[in-house]
Structure 1
């Protein structure tokens, strides 16, 4: 199964969607701002990305500063909960193909997963 975690307001996300459409493969789009991930879904996604939660955070978002997410004493679970409560904090776009995933910045990073 192929899933694109997508934010329509993001030009990089729109580029990834266009590339995915050109691939001719069947996929689903998850508008994660409208359908936020649960903590369990986010942990599964982080495992597929092979990243700690901190590396999925968008540090330039206002919420990042307001929630003091730069604090290195915050646990993995606290960072995950912040992204559950504020999905805007997640990097985008993310392509997940079965048990693997990649942050598609730039969009051509997803080509290896689609091969």
Structure 2
């Protein structure tokens, strides 16, 4: 199975996650979700795999969340899915799918939990934070 990342190149967390996948030796299938959003069925399958509700996966920052009134607790899962389909920017990302599982990679190092080769060595995020991957001690 190939690694798939639902990616937004304008998002630093998504760029860091993609770079970690590549540093692990994988070349993932990159789905730019704003260009090619997941279908409703695909999104529902991702939610099931993530064990999340649509509300859990909603992104507020930089989206029309407030303008659409999505904070209203009376909204159904179906209504939230409709909003995500109409405005894919509402889907919190990056989401990574591997044979080991599916993760919302916030923070980006959550991707290490599902990579075949999580020992990527020290990795420096765009903000300068250094991630020491699983299997490596702090001395490197």
Do the two structures share a fold, i.e. TM-score over 0.5?
A: yes
Are 2:93 and 1:92 equivalent residues in the alignment?
yes
The gaps in structure 2 that reach 5 residues or longer are 117-140
RMSD: 1.4
Q: Please report how far the alpha carbon of residue 48 of structure 1 lies from its aligned counterpart in structure 2 after TM superposition.
A: 1.1
| TM, length-normalised to structure 2 | 0.77
- Number of residue-to-residue matches in the alignment: 115
User: What SS class does the counterpart of residue 65 from structure 2 fall into?
Assistant: helix
Q: Paired residue for 1:81?
A: 82
Give me the TM-score of the superposition, normalised by structure 1.
0.93
Q: Which residue matches 1:45?
A: 46
Which structure has more relative contact order (CA 8 Å, sep 6+)? It is 1
Report SS of the residue matched to 1:64.
coil
Listed as ranges, the gaps of 5+ residues in structure 1 are: none
Do the aligned partners of residues 105 and 73 (structure 1) sit closer, same or farther apart at CA in structure 2, a change above 3 Å counting? same
Q: Which has the higher helix share?
A: 1
